[in-house]
Structure 1
Amino acid sequence: MGKIVLYIAQSLDGFIADENGKFDFLNDFMRPEEDYGYAEFLKTLGAVIMATTTYKDILKLGFWYDGLENHIFSNQLLTVPEGKTIQQHSGDPSALVAELRQKEKDTWLVGGASLVTQFLNKGLLDELMVAIIPRTLGRGIPLFKDVDVRYAPELKGSKVFSDGVVMLHYVFANK
């Protein structure tokens, strides 16, 4: 059965982007010699889920998740690059998550913060892989905001990288 996994990076002080929605603080850590487990993680996936802003940011970067189902939550009519497909959704993600959990491969909840909060509040997240980036932003978009539910996830693993990045892998076993 497929799991819903949030794989994300945050600053040391808990932000996934600065107050303008930029994630430039990650630039020093995008090096070809280290991918922080990203390539191995991608092999486990059959789908990605993201919200409008994340989708638009990915398109600006000229990136696409080839070979994966692309599910976008948006209340806007979205443009899709030529030759690519998305499945657009709005509202409660519970039915989509139930469908994706029946698949063999996992699904990556890419972002953004409001969608992450919705998944947490509805108990739809199975695992969290968060890379703690050794930078502080002072203010910005927090990873967790307005979460109504308390969790005590179990630490599945951790890895410290030579540049100070720490990858934490949690399982929401008691939700």
Structure 2
Amino acid sequence: MTSPKPNVGAKIEEMSFPVVGKTEPVTIGKPTDRWTMLFVYRGKHCPRCKRFLNKLNAALPAWTDVMNIVVVSADTEEKAIADKAEFGWDFDLAYGMTVPQMRSLGLYVSEPLSEAETTDQFAEPGAFGIRPNGTLMLVDISNGPAARPDLEELLDGMKFNIENDRPERGTA
């Protein structure tokens, strides 16, 4: 079962996630001084996620010049630590996203195909542009690992949206 589409223009539910190597969690949905881009990935078991996150890491300075970046999955702390160690990503890596949190964002939720994949339900990919006031401006969700936003195009679009204070689209 998938939740209804996220309500762009509305405040998103405040959510906190633990972060690898940090004592303080990262929180989305509360007011901040900058825009936030939330990237949800499938987890350690997904090689397509690694390619996407490696591309994000390579472009990270361009992203962090414009907004805060939050990357999260439903993975356990152990899996997140292993990914961070293996790939050496510079972004903070959050973990422990719950199924209710996934559903509140309208993400597709999948059952593992086998224990070799993973053992618990996990979120399919999503990207969410969140205004400093905690309202949702942009949504990109997928029901599987093969559909991801083009990071260069997404960043260019987000810069335009921010600089021109563009309204939410898709609300008609």
TM-score over 0.5 for the pair: no
Higher RCO (CA-CA < 8 Å; seq separation 6+): 1
Structure with greater strand percent: 1
